[in-house]
Amino acid sequence: MRIGILGDIHSNLEALTAVVGMLESEGVDAWVQVGDIVGYGADPVPCIERVRELGCTVCLGNHDAAVVDFMPADYFNQYARAAIDWTRAALRPEDLDYLRGLPLKIETRDYSVVHGSLHLPAQFGYVFSTVEAAECLSEQRTRVAFVGHSHVPGAYMQREGGSLRDLDVVFESEFTTSIAGYSRVLLNVGSVGQPRDEDARAAGAIYDMERGTVQVLRTEYDIPTAQQKIRDAGLPSVLADRLALGV
Ligand code: ZN
């Protein structure tokens, strides 16, 4: 079983199309999406449709939550807030219903999914450090968990018999790492639609359960078209500019 994982799509259809194509060519049997399908970009409806067509297991992101008024807009900076208001008006009733129905956290036999952290999922905390990773791992009941939110890929791994204070960390823009010898693995899958690790390429991830590997892959995509759509929609131009920089 190979699971393809999509993080933080943010209404970027060009990036989503490229990442799905990349992961399909790698061969995946099931799909997971870690939240924030919408926000920032200009294609919220086609991105929701694509995620639904793929049959993704999906949890709720903070931008998804703000669009359906599950959390206050003053949590966000002015650019994110403008995009949330624009997105709310662009979505159809069925899209809003779909976002409203997403769970904050998912736990299957094989993995957990949450947008920010398994520690207080409704607060959408970030996992940026080993301290935050340890908080998240302490709530993790499955061997592997997938998160997004920071838009920066990486993995935090607790050795079998090892302590949460002494995690092994992978911090690369793309990597493949074996999970053999680790009792718990927290994978940040990076962002499809708005990477922030100074690598503008779109990210996607694979968990190969037979081989026991987690992987983050990158692909080029049509950034100029995604940028033009953002400008044409009247969204803040900074949201277009940043795509070329990967910030
Ligand atoms: Zn996000």
Interval between CA 219 and ligand 1 midpoint (Å)? 18
Q: What integer pLDDT is reported at residue 74 of this predicted model?
A: 85
Distance 84 CA to ligand 1 centre (A): 12
Say how many Å lie between the CA of residue 150 and the centre of ligand 1: 7
Beta bridge partners of 144: 111, 185
Ligand 1 center–CA 89 separation, angstroms: 19
The three-class DSSP label of residue 167 is coil
Give me the domain span that covers residue 154.
Answer: 2-244
How many angstroms is it from 114 CA to the middle of ligand 1?
A: 12
CB under 8 Å to 189, separation ≥6 — which residues? Answer: 5, 6, 7, 34, 146, 147, 148, 153, 203, 204, 205, 216
The answer to whether 179 and 144 have CB atoms below 8 angstroms apart is yes
Alpha carbon of 184 to ligand 1 centroid (Å) = 24
Look at residue 52 and give its three-state secondary structure.
helix
Percent of the chain past pLDDT 90, that is, above it, reads 98
Note the pLDDT tens digit of each residue in 44-57: 999 999 999 999 99
Kindly give the distance from the C-alpha atom of residue 112 to the centroid of ligand 1, in angstroms, as a whole number. 18
Residue 27 CA to residue 209 CA, distance in Å, equals 13
Residue 73: pLDDT band (50, 70, 90) is confident
At 224, which CATH number? 3.60.21.10
How far, in Å, is the centroid of ligand 1 from the Cα of 8? 5
Q: How far is the CA of 109 from the centre of ligand 1 (A)?
A: 26
What CA–CA distance (Å, rounded) separates 186 from 113?
10
Residue 215 has pLDDT above 90, yes or no: yes
Measure 71 CA to ligand 1 centroid, in angstroms. Answer: 15
pTM over 0.95: yes
CA of 161 to the centre of ligand 1 (A): 33
Distance in Å, CA 245 to ligand 1 centroid: 16
Query: What is the number of domains present in the chain?
Result: 1
Q: How many Å lie between the centroid of ligand 1 and the Cα of residue 192?
A: 10
Q: How confident is the model at residue 209 (pLDDT cuts 50, 70, 90)?
A: very high
pLDDT tens string 110-158: 999 999 999 999 999 999 999 999 999 999 999 999 999 999 999 999 9
Burial (CB < 10 A; 0-12, 13-18, 19+), residue 141, is exposed
